[in-house]
Structure 1
Amino acid sequence: MQGAPRTVNNSRPRLPPSYGQGYHTDEVVPPLRIGTFVASRAGFFFGWWVVFASAAIVFLTGGTFFYGFSALFNPIVREFGWSRAAVSFAFSLRSEVGGIAAPIVGFLVDRVGPRRLMVFGVATVALGFVLLSQVQALWAFYGSVVVIAIGMSAAAGPVGIVAVAHWFRRRRGRALAFLAMGAGSSGIMVVVLAGLISAFDWRNALVIIAAVQLAVCVPLALSIHNRPEDIGLHPDGEAEVGPSPGDTAVAPGLAEPEGLTVRQALRSSAFWRLALAVSLGNLGAMAIIVHQIPFFTGSVGLSEGAAAASVTGMTLVSVGGRFGFGYVSDFMDKRFVMAGAYALLALAVLLFAAIHQPWQIFLVLPLFGLGWGGIIPVRPALQAELFGLRAFGAIQGLVFTIATLGGVVGPVFAGWMYDQTESYRLSFVVLAAATFLAVPLLVTLRRPSLSAAA
């Protein structure tokens, strides 16, 4: 006779007393227990602290350089006289190094967990910022960017995504959307960085940012627990009541296939379609992110301060895209949701070529922000749905390695086109067409069978 199915108790479980509940308000809480202390005192699921801490780390490390590079672009070109293609290559180099490091980081995060990698990553990014502040030659410029790229691979989005994916199951799309919203908000740092550059010059600004990264992000990284099981919790904060003797059934919706191995994923067409789609999307997206400020100042007539503010505006709009698309992906087919985001992104890149007046920026930037923002939380949610969590980090790293090719080619191509024609417009048209090719790849993507691999 089949036993009764397990029931799910929707009451919010408390953290074990040994994880933060024994502290008085006037005691100093060790970094390892900051998150559990706050979660237990506030009465919320610790997984949301993982989302917050990961988002804050991305905000101050990866996001600062990812979006802030555009603010550094003009000061570096003015000081050294390097070509735009040469300076753009630094951002592409960051993408390429990140792509090479991604499988290694993915392998490590599946085995040692996010916390140690994040601490290493934060320290390495800060070191890279200090080295960048001291460069006097192009080779040193590239070398410091390589250090930053290695740190970003361990501290920024990919590792945080793995952490959040393990803490949530039913609400994974929404949790990843909130993580992506934190990363999107890092566009605010473009204005901060531009202000620091104006007040202290770009070299001192980078040292200040590095100090803030170490002071804030290291304690946050130490506060993260890798999996809910580490502290006696379950994904989503749901508590399972133990089964009665002989019970073998599983609560509906709680069992998740173990997933594919890396080798099995590589043998599926879904992996290659997903990776190629992300790479094509990166062609247009990375070109705009790197060259947005130079384009607005040189071709549209904005001041550098106004151009920096436009980057912040775009990233803030992307927060809405990250939440909206991530939320919808919990209820709709993630393939179609992600394809819709890429279609919106391709349209925005095409319309960038038509911007001649400042007022037109207000029409195009929101489209770009929504499309770009929408892709970010849906991609890992779709990956988890396609391949499961058995080798999530390693598979993600391989996707990033292939996707990096677009991030390398797009910015360099746009910079080279400007050096040849003194205009970005033709490059934007070409890159928009390439970006749109991601749409049919995703719409026709077929899911591999997880049950056979579980």
Structure 2
Amino acid sequence: MKRYYPWLIAILGLLMLMVSNGLTITGITAFDPSLLSEFGWSRAVLKFRDLLTLLLAGLMAPFLGMLIDRVGPKRLALVGSLMLAALYFAYGYVHSIGMVYLIHVGFAAVLVAAGLNVAVIMVSQWFVTKRGVALGITLVGTSLGGVVLPKIIVAMLPALGWRESFMWLSVVPLVLFVLVLLLVRTPAQMGMQPYGARDAKAGAGETAATDELPDIGYAAAIRTPTFWALAMVAMTTFYSILSVSAHLFLYMRDMGFDLATAGNAMAVMYGMAMIGKFVLGFLADYYAPKRVFLINIAIMIGGAVLLAGMKPGLIWYALVLFGLGWGGLYTMIQLLAVNAFGLSSAGKILGTITLLDATSGGLGIWITALLYDHFGSYHVAFLVIAVLIVAAFIAGFRVRNERQQLVLQDAPKPAMR
């Protein structure tokens, strides 16, 4: 059993992200038509909730990143899962937009306590080699939430209505709480070494070699071009993917598709993202991670351009490319950050990137809604998205392995003859 425990942790990370991201960001959009129909809010008024969630999650992330480094991911994940259960149950009783906003303030804490950074660090500490594959498995969870939860919600709505559906879904985070309580351990607590630690000592493999390098502290990391290049890519692409995913249900309904087909569209995009996270994370263990990183952004550009064209016959091709490119990119941002700076300050480094990309993502959802309300369609909003991803591609060339650069700079220079 111990032999497979690192992979069990990777799968548990997948489930954590499926629940936390799926219930707060992706799956919850399946309720949007019901909420707009019942309360008559504009899209900008409703989507301001997502700006609140992501902006506050970003602001909290650096501080809770310090907590991750001090107390470990398990305690935060337990608190986050309990909070999510309580908030989802409360959602079934909302009667005003103010109550919705208040619940989404709570979602911000959930995303930080039981979300991306916690899962990445929880899994990374179990792997020296095969870290790309492990993170790829874990980050499939964000996509799996977008595939599974909207279809479950669409099936529940006709029979239960939106209020009772929220209440029943509150059981899901409680199941996550039990799994985290029973299964999450560190390698030291299990009396084990991380996967591939022996290979690292032997100097085998690119990831192993990277782990032999000295870590870079937070203060030094944020002064490097790599940190800001990764932050730029994260900000522009989070703006893009969260905008598209948050508005996809409404967009498909505007195009005349029924609720089930809108759910299928979400499943296609996040299904391709799920494939991208695993396959391209796997490739990053065998090819230069930066090259895989740039290929991901290029694929995402292709999907964004097709989406901006607003052609019904091209929507499915656009969603395939957009999801595939984003899925791999999502994995690569985390992997490149850990490889470039190490694990000792990973909570603060990833927390700061989360502050920037979550703020950008929240603004993207809200700005896209404002542009829709102004122009009466998503055409201009999706053009903005395409331009931003091109900017991400340009920024991606500035990413490098800062730990390796540090060693090269400190190496003695050959004597001049």
Match of 1:189 among 149, 160, 171: 149
Match of 2:238 among 261, 273, 282: 282
Q: Match for 2:160: what amino acid? A: F
Match of 2:203 among 252, 275, 281: 252
**Residue matched to 1:55:** 14
Instruction: Give the deviation of 1:199 after TM superposition.
Output: 1.6
Q: Is the 8 A contact 1:93 1:408 kept in 2?
A: yes
Q: CA RMSD in A?
A: 2.0
User: Could you list the per-position Cα deviations for residues 282-325 of structure 1 after superposition, in whole angstroms to 9, with x for gaps in the alignment?
Assistant: 12111101000101111x21011210121012211211111111
SS at match of 1:45: helix
Q: Is the 8 A contact 1:125 1:152 kept in 2?
A: no
**Residue matched to 1:270:** 226
Matched, 1:344 2:305: no
User: Could you list the per-position Cα deviations for residues 251-276 of structure 1 after superposition, in whole angstroms to 9, with x for gaps in the alignment?
Assistant: 22455334111111112121111111
**Residue matched to 1:73:** 32
Match of 1:445 among 399, 406, 412: 399
**Residue matched to 1:383:** 337
Q: Take 1:47 and 1:250, find their aligned partners in 2: how far apart are those partners? A: 18
Q: Match for 2:203: what amino acid? A: P
Q: Match for 2:169: what amino acid? A: I
Gap regions ≥5 residues in structure 2: 411-417
Matched, 1:110 2:69: yes
Q: Is the 8 A contact 1:169 1:236 kept in 2?
A: yes
Q: Take 1:293 and 1:67, find their aligned partners in 2: how far apart are those partners? A: 10
Q: Is the 8 A contact 2:12 2:138 kept in 1?
A: no
Q: Match for 2:243: what amino acid? A: A
SS at match of 2:389: helix
Q: Take 2:192 and 2:233, find their aligned partners in 1: how far apart are those partners? A: 36
**Residue matched to 1:329:** 284
Q: Match for 2:127: what amino acid? A: F
Q: Take 1:427 and 1:250, find their aligned partners in 2: how far apart are those partners? A: 50
Q: Is the 8 A contact 1:95 1:149 kept in 2?
A: yes
Matched, 1:152 2:108: no
Q: Take 1:67 and 1:428, find their aligned partners in 2: how far apart are those partners? A: 18
| Alignment of structure 1 residues 135-214 onto 2, 5 Å | 135-186=94-145, 187-214=147-174
Q: How many residues align?
A: 402
SS at match of 1:229: coil
Between the two proteins, what is the percent identity of the paired residues? Answer: 26
Matched, 1:131 2:87: no
Q: Is the 8 A contact 1:132 1:145 kept in 2?
A: no
**Residue matched to 2:247:** 291
Q: Take 1:269 and 1:356, find their aligned partners in 2: how far apart are those partners? A: 38
Q: Is the 8 A contact 1:283 1:435 kept in 2?
A: no
Instruction: Give the deviation of 1:162 after TM superposition.
Output: 0.5
Q: Match for 1:362: what amino acid? A: W
Q: Take 1:263 and 1:427, find their aligned partners in 2: how far apart are those partners? A: 36
Q: Is the 8 A contact 2:226 2:398 kept in 1?
A: no
SS at match of 2:212: coil
User: Could you list the per-position Cα deviations for residues 224-276 of structure 1 after superposition, in whole angstroms to 9, with x for gaps in the alignment?
Assistant: 44421222111116568xxxxxxxx9422455334111111112121111111
Q: Take 1:180 and 1:284, find their aligned partners in 2: how far apart are those partners? A: 18
Instruction: Give the deviation of 1:194 after TM superposition.
Output: 1.6
Give the structure with higher Rg (CA): 1
Matched, 1:100 2:64: no
Q: Is the 8 A contact 2:128 2:197 kept in 1?
A: no
**Residue matched to 2:415:** none
Instruction: Give the deviation of 1:167 after TM superposition.
Output: 0.4
Q: Is the 8 A contact 2:47 2:365 kept in 1?
A: yes
Q: Match for 2:303: what amino acid? A: A
Matched, 1:312 2:272: no
Change (3 A) 1:446 1:52: closer
Change (3 A) 1:307 1:408: same
Q: Take 1:250 and 1:159, find their aligned partners in 2: how far apart are those partners? A: 27
Change (3 A) 1:250 1:239: closer
Q: Take 1:198 and 1:356, find their aligned partners in 2: how far apart are those partners? A: 30
Q: Is the 8 A contact 1:121 1:151 kept in 2?
A: yes
**Residue matched to 1:413:** 367
Change (3 A) 1:226 1:437: farther
Q: Match for 1:270: what amino acid? A: T
Instruction: Give the deviation of 1:331 after TM superposition.
Output: 2.0
Q: Take 1:150 and 1:184, find their aligned partners in 2: how far apart are those partners? A: 20
Q: Take 2:12 and 2:403, find their aligned partners in 1: how far apart are those partners? A: 34
Q: Take 1:224 and 1:342, find their aligned partners in 2: how far apart are those partners? A: 35
Q: Take 1:204 and 1:258, find their aligned partners in 2: how far apart are those partners? A: 52
Q: Take 1:433 and 1:250, find their aligned partners in 2: how far apart are those partners? A: 44
Change (3 A) 1:85 1:380: same
Q: Take 1:200 and 1:315, find their aligned partners in 2: how far apart are those partners? A: 25
Q: Take 2:38 and 2:98, find their aligned partners in 1: how far apart are those partners? A: 15
SS at match of 2:52: helix
Change (3 A) 1:182 1:445: closer
**Residue matched to 2:217:** 261
Change (3 A) 1:273 1:325: same
TM-score by length of 2: 0.91
User: Could you list the per-position Cα deviations for residues 53-103 of structure 1 after superposition, in whole angstroms to 9, with x for gaps in the alignment?
Assistant: 121122223223321132121111111111111111111221111111211
TM-score by length of 1: 0.84
